[in-house]
Structure 1
Amino acid sequence: MIKLGVIGYGSRIGNIIRVMQEQRPECKIQAITDIRNDELKAQNSALQDVHFYASFEDMYNNEELDGVLIGTRCSLHTEMALKVLPTGIPLYLEKPVSTTMADVHRLKKASDASSSEVVVSFPLRVSRVARMAKEIIDSGKIGTVEHVQATNNTPYGSVYYHSWYRDEKETGGLFLQKATHDFDYINYIVDQSPIAVCAMTSKQIFKGTKPAGLKCMDCEENRTCEESTIKLPEKKRERWAYCSFAEDTGNEDSGSALVRYESGMHVAYSQNFFVRNKAGYRGARFMGYKGTLEFNFYTSQLKVYMHHTNRVETYDVDAGNDHFGGDTMLVNNFVDVMQGLDKSHSTLDHGLTSALMCLKAKQSAETGTFQTIAWDDKF
């Protein structure tokens, strides 16, 4: 039996644990520490035999754990990881690994001093689509990648304005919430280091003069507003409670970044949070002199356009419904890591690099300047 400890039993880490137990039934939740311990015990019958603790320190001192998973709100990811890293226990860490520049440098320092093997929750990096794209590019079919255009038009963006995600102190902004995945899979596929970024964000839609703290159920326009959540199921309505046109609605609703890489090539990336339905898209084009490779995560289709012949190759990928097969890959990797059978395929260094890119993009957007992507000495 593989004994797991959980710090922050949120919905995302709950899904990861579900996939883990489906894939590897030898895994068992041994202990949990969460600010909602009593609520979790009362609402989830599957947790009745789990040991609950008020702190990680208590859990660590009283349990023999094979691995720890961190699923707190984003602003606590670094703080909790700093508690686990010195123990040497394998760690599964939700993204973003940090939400502030100070935290990303604290985590970098702790990572350099730790022997803990860390799997960061970057399912796109290990998805079947991204791995096939890298396989084709590494074969030399399209030549060396010299330009990338990547897009993430998020059709479920309402979550970033109706729920706790609207609090930028928790999220760190939407580069850290979404682009962190996209930057990471691009880094993986091109296999280069980013060196500079410039970025811009806009807030054109989700702003307004409705009172701070207003909930959809209390708004007189909740029957006509396109963003109203009153018709959602009760549990979801409770989570997505707040007006997205109130004066306290946080987060930009679109953003773009240009990233320069060490070879001199650059990536143009853009994300949007007010498109809906079929307008949703997540994917990229990788261009070399000999050809262009493009893929769409939502359709799980990959195409290669050859530049000097009329040939177009189409690949339909059996991606799965768990972040395009990525969650299954991550949980199996983490179990193998805990058993000493493998190393992490989505490391803390990957998480730190992506977080630094996002934080530098945020700084660039706020200051209107290019930002160097480097570990500053002042930290």
Structure 2
Amino acid sequence: MRLGVIGYGERIRHMIGEIIKLHPAAHVAAIVDIRQDVIREERLRNGEDNVSYFASADEMLQSGKIDAVLIGTRCSLHTTMALKVMKKGLPLFMEKPVATTPEDLHLLKQGYEQTKSGVIVSFPLRLTSLVQLVKEIVDSGKLGTIEHVQAVNNVPYGNVYFQNWYRDEQETQGLFLQKATHDFDYINAVVGLRPTVVSAMVSKQIFKGDKPAGLKCVDCEENRTCLESTAFSDEATQKAWPYCCFAVDTGNEDSGSALVRYESGMHLSYSQNFFARRGAAARGARFLGYKGTVEFDFYTGIVKVFMHHTDRIETYELSASNDHFGGDKALAQNFIDMVTGGAPSLSTLDDGLMSAFMCLAAKRSSETGVFQSLDWSNKLV
């Protein structure tokens, strides 16, 4: 399996590693990346010298040297590169979000409707053992039909969105697209319903200030007292999170909430926060039916079922894993099966398009104070 990579970033490297573990015959055959000289030197040091490097995605796709493609570029290029790959009909693995603007979203939808490419979107949470167990419980009917969902994501590493390149809001287009896209997707997968309307609100109360644009922690006079300072951290941390998060150019909201109505009339309340720390970390949801409720949290690995009309409480404890509770492994196996045997995607571009639509609509609602329809005729302009 000859893999072509557009954007050889950290996340895609991890997924390639998962693919090769499961299918040792797979290998990186071609790379397109603006850092190709650095990448070439690094791979040579590791004894990996059997890669062709191309100046553009078009050249790589025309080379005939690849069987499948993985896209790991910055978010704003996901749509552009995916459209190029889909025109060639090659199997595609692409990072989320699948689009960062309403215009790209509709272009990608049109392109997908005309392609023969199989596409897997990097949504590992829907395939985790936790979410799969919750879906099994919901689908069993023991809770009754799900009539309300309460979800939360309190991110303990939220400084990443204010102290490195993620602070560029023109690139990220806000944190619904960067984080909620995963949560909306797994919730959609569990309830199996189509979302129809979204409203949202965001706040920026903590990570703001009057420090100069581009200020780095090492150059700040307050770096010994600032709780977010990385000036005295190890070299890797300083390199990963170099910037002041209390400067005029931090970008991104630091909390946000959304309400989503689904086709049955039930609704979801979702909230995310980026200044919670340590024990305040939480990521999971409650799915409530008339007969019972199931709840889970990714950080604890615990699933609980509360039966509403008896004293019974069921508790499941799943072993923690550093690959999204098995989600990454499942994505990798699905990609292998798609490339080698034409298996259907378990995390489709349709799923990715709907999640991105929800996030972009939530962003638009937070800007206008207006409920946004999730009908595809809504261009979000």
The Cα offsets for residues 126-155 of structure 1, whole Å up to 9 and x where unpaired, read as 111001100111001111000000000000
- Report the alpha carbon displacement of residue 83 of structure 1 after superposing the two structures with TM: 0.7
Q: Which residue of 2 aligns with 1:301?
A: 302
CA distance in 2, matches of 1:377, 1:291: 36
CA distance in 1, matches of 2:65, 2:344: 21
Identity, % of aligned positions: 60
Q: Which residue of 1 aligns with 2:259?
A: 258
> Is 1:282 matched with 2:283?
yes
Alignment of 1:238-249 (within 5 A): 238-249=239-250
Moved more, 238-247 or 254-263: 238-247
Q: Which residue of 2 aligns with 1:23?
A: 22
CA distance change for structure 1 residues 236 and 48 in 2, over 3 Å: closer, same or farther? farther
CA distance in 1, matches of 2:222, 2:58: 48
Moved more, 183-192 or 64-73: 64-73
CA distance in 2, matches of 1:230, 1:376: 49
Instruction: Letter of the 1:128 partner, please give it.
Output: S
Structure 1: gaps of 5 or more residues: none
The Cα offsets for residues 196-253 of structure 1, whole Å up to 9 and x where unpaired, read as 0000000000000000110111101111111011233313312311100000110000
CA distance in 2, matches of 1:302, 1:260: 25
CA distance in 1, matches of 2:25, 2:373: 45
**Alignment coverage as a number of residue pairs:** 378
CA distance change for structure 1 residues 17 and 125 in 2, over 3 Å: closer, same or farther? same
CA distance in 1, matches of 2:237, 2:40: 20
CA distance in 1, matches of 2:233, 2:218: 11
CA distance in 1, matches of 2:186, 2:27: 30
Q: Which residue of 2 aligns with 1:113?
A: 114
Q: TM-score, normalised by structure 1?
A: 0.98
CA distance in 2, matches of 1:318, 1:132: 13
Moved more, 80-89 or 313-322: 313-322
Instruction: Letter of the 1:123 partner, please give it.
Output: P
Q: TM-score, normalised by structure 2?
A: 0.97
- Computed over aligned residues only, the root mean square deviation of the Cα atoms, in angstroms, reads 1.2
CA distance in 1, matches of 2:8, 2:50: 15
Instruction: Letter of the 1:154 partner, please give it.
Output: V
Secondary structure of residue in 2 paired with 1:148: strand
CA distance in 2, matches of 1:231, 1:292: 46
Moved more, 292-301 or 227-236: 227-236
Instruction: Letter of the 1:168 partner, please give it.
Output: E
Instruction: Letter of the 1:27 partner, please give it.
Output: A
Q: Which residue of 1 aligns with 2:268?
A: 267
- Report the alpha carbon displacement of residue 66 of structure 1 after superposing the two structures with TM: 1.5
Q: Which residue of 1 aligns with 2:182?
A: 181
- Report the alpha carbon displacement of residue 378 of structure 1 after superposing the two structures with TM: 5.8
- Report the alpha carbon displacement of residue 64 of structure 1 after superposing the two structures with TM: 2.9
Moved more, 51-60 or 156-165: 51-60
CA distance in 1, matches of 2:221, 2:326: 42
Secondary structure of residue in 2 paired with 1:14: helix
CA distance in 1, matches of 2:356, 2:378: 17
CA distance change for structure 1 residues 61 and 69 in 2, over 3 Å: closer, same or farther? same
Moved more, 311-320 or 258-267: 311-320
Structure 2: gaps of 5 or more residues: none
Moved more, 235-244 or 365-374: 235-244
Secondary structure of residue in 1 paired with 2:62: helix
CA distance in 1, matches of 2:266, 2:312: 26
Instruction: Letter of the 2:92 partner, please give it.
Output: L
CA distance change for structure 1 residues 151 and 377 in 2, over 3 Å: closer, same or farther? closer
CA distance in 1, matches of 2:339, 2:233: 40
The Cα offsets for residues 34-91 of structure 1, whole Å up to 9 and x where unpaired, read as 0000011122334422111101111122233121000001111111111101111000
Q: Which residue of 1 aligns with 2:33?
A: 34
CA distance change for structure 1 residues 290 and 378 in 2, over 3 Å: closer, same or farther? closer
- Following TM superposition, the consecutive aligned residue runs of length 4 or more in structure 1 with deviations greater than 3 angstroms are none
> Is 1:7 matched with 2:6?
yes
Secondary structure of residue in 2 paired with 1:322: coil
CA distance in 2, matches of 1:264, 1:232: 50
CA distance in 1, matches of 2:7, 2:328: 18
The Cα offsets for residues 250-295 of structure 1, whole Å up to 9 and x where unpaired, read as 0000000000000000000000000111110000000000000000
